[in-house]
Amino acid sequence: MEVKAAVCSGNTEPFTIRNVTLDDLRPDELRIRMVASGICHTDMAVRDQQLPVPLPVVLGHEGAGIVEEVGSNVTSAQPGDRVVMSFNSCGHCPSCDAEAPTYCYDFFPHNWSGTRADGSPTLFADGEPMNGNFFGQSSFATYAIAHDRNVVKVPDSASDIPLERLAPIGCGLMTGAGAVLRSMKVRAGMPIAVFGAGTVGMAAIMAAKIAEANPIIAVDVNDERLALAKELGATHAFNGRDDAPGKIREVCPQGLGYAFDTTGINTVIEQAWSLLAPKGVVGMVGASDPADELNFNEAMFMGGGRTVMGILGGDSDVGPFMLELIGYHLEGRFPFEKLIGYFDFGQINEAIEASESGKVVKPVLRIGNES
């Protein structure tokens, strides 16, 4: 089947929209007609080759759309269903067995190899294989092949919420909220600081409010984002260029229960670590230079029982957690619509530029109509 897809060839040229061919469905796969896709910083991390996904590739991993066709073994959704997509996983490794699929032992082949896990291509261009199956979806396209394990049917309770709004729930929002509610299990009444108030950080701030953390401190270098962070639940907001650590110490003289880094900058992570109270946890999700190292004082680890926690996908178990987040959204406690700026599919390069300049927190591409 011929579809239109945005192809990424690296950071020396813009994404280009071209015709590609979608492979036939396997028994565990679904063909989705895309309605919208969020753009996440991780798409840019691949463009910049911080993640070793082969180029050229069709990216996009926050897709939402309508199921057109399903393979014979699919149980997650049926043709006509409204669905959102997330990351893929194998379903039978020790992490998947423990409902921790973001740490799937075979995460790479199922999400980042450019092919299906068995090495077969899902996309072709001019008769040759094209890298796709990014996060088991490659949603920067008019149609996508997804898998039974990474598709979630939108519940009837959310039938009034447009798919273009729900699209980003499958990565950035899930990651920030899950980091707080699931990975770090933030306790009520405990102080948290969130470094980097992009989509992931803002989701963490909204989730920290749900968890009743206090105070909730946002740190960013963009004052507009800090103002929005306060609207979404931050009790304090400090500019990272203006002695944020000193100000955090003043607010929390006993130290932070939790520090959540979304910047991926090693000096910011080390600063966050230095602010932790005993039993404090620094959670980190940001993409970083593969050569970067972190330095922590050994005695401070053991003496205070502190934890440095790498986090993927906010420890989401996909379906149940996405339904939980949609529930918070319906209750008005997870108002992520305030982060979104919409762009037409053909404006993908403008959307990326708006994200990188800080103008738009969460760009969402409008790819097709719902009906």
Ligand X SMILES: NC(=O)c1ccc[n+]([C@@H]2O[C@H](COP(=O)([O-])OP(=O)(O)OC[C@H]3O[C@@H](n4cnc5c(N)ncnc54)[C@H](O)[C@@H]3O)[C@@H](O)[C@H]2O)c1
Binding region for Zn ion (CB under 5 A): 40, 42, 89-90, 93, 96, 104, 171
State how far the Cα of 276 lies from the Cα of 300, in Å rounded to an integer: 10
Which of 1, 17, 45, 55 binds ligand X (CB under 6 A)? It is 45
State how far the Cα of 18 lies from the Cα of 125, in Å rounded to an integer: 9
Per-residue burial over 140-167, b if 16 or more Cβ lie within 10 Å, else e, is bbbbbbbbbbbbbbbeeebeebebbbbb
Indicate the residue among 195 and 273 with the shorter CB distance to Zn ion.
195
CB of 106 to ligand X, least distance (A): 16
Q: Tokens at residue 260, please?
A: 């959540």
Indicate the residue among 104 and 202 with the shorter CB distance to Zn ion.
104
Q: Tokens at residue 128, please?
A: 């040759």
> Site for ligand X (CB under 6 A): how many residues?
33
Contacts to ligand X from residues 47-76, by CB under 6 A: none
Which of 286, 315, 318, 348 binds ligand X (CB under 6 A)? It is 286
Q: Which residues contact 250 (CB under 8 A, 6 or more apart)?
A: none
Binding mask 173-212 for ligand X (x = CB under 6 A): --x-------------------xxxxxxx-----------
Binding mask 307-346 for ligand X (x = CB under 6 A): ----xxx---------------------------------
Indicate the residue among 82 and 362 with the shorter CB distance to ligand X.
362
101 binds ligand X (CB under 6 A): no
In what order do the strands lie in the sheet containing 2-8? 57-58, 2-8, 16-22, 123-125, 128-130
Binding mask 229-268 for ligand X (x = CB under 6 A): -----------x---------------------xxxx--x
Angle formed by the axes of helices 199-210 and 223-232, nearest 10°? 30
Q: Tokens at residue 84, please?
A: 């959102």
Instruction: Spell out the alpha helix ranges (H) of 130-276.
Output: 163-166, 172-178, 199-210, 223-232, 244-251, 266-274
Binding partner selected for residue 93 from ligand X, Zn ion, none, CB under the kind-specific 5 to 8 Å limit: Zn ion
Binding partner selected for residue 225 from ligand X, Zn ion, none, CB under the kind-specific 5 to 8 Å limit: ligand X
Indicate the residue among 200 and 281 with the shorter CB distance to ligand X.
200
**Strand runs (DSSP E) across the chain, as ranges?**
2-8, 16-22, 29-38, 57-58, 63-70, 82-85, 123-125, 128-130, 143-147, 151-153, 192-195, 216-220, 236-239, 256-261, 276-284, 307-310, 340-344, 362-366
221 binds ligand X (CB under 6 A): yes
Binding partner selected for residue 311 from Zn ion, ligand X, none, CB under the kind-specific 5 to 8 Å limit: ligand X
CB of 367 to Zn ion, least distance (A): 17
Instruction: Spell out the alpha helix ranges (H) of 237-366.
Output: 244-251, 266-274, 298-304, 319-330, 348-356
Binding partner selected for residue 287 from Zn ion, ligand X, none, CB under the kind-specific 5 to 8 Å limit: ligand X
- The CB-nearest residue to ligand X is 198
Contact set with ligand X (CB under 6 A) = 40-42, 45, 171-172, 175, 195-201, 219-222, 225, 240, 262-265, 268, 285-287, 311-313, 358, 361
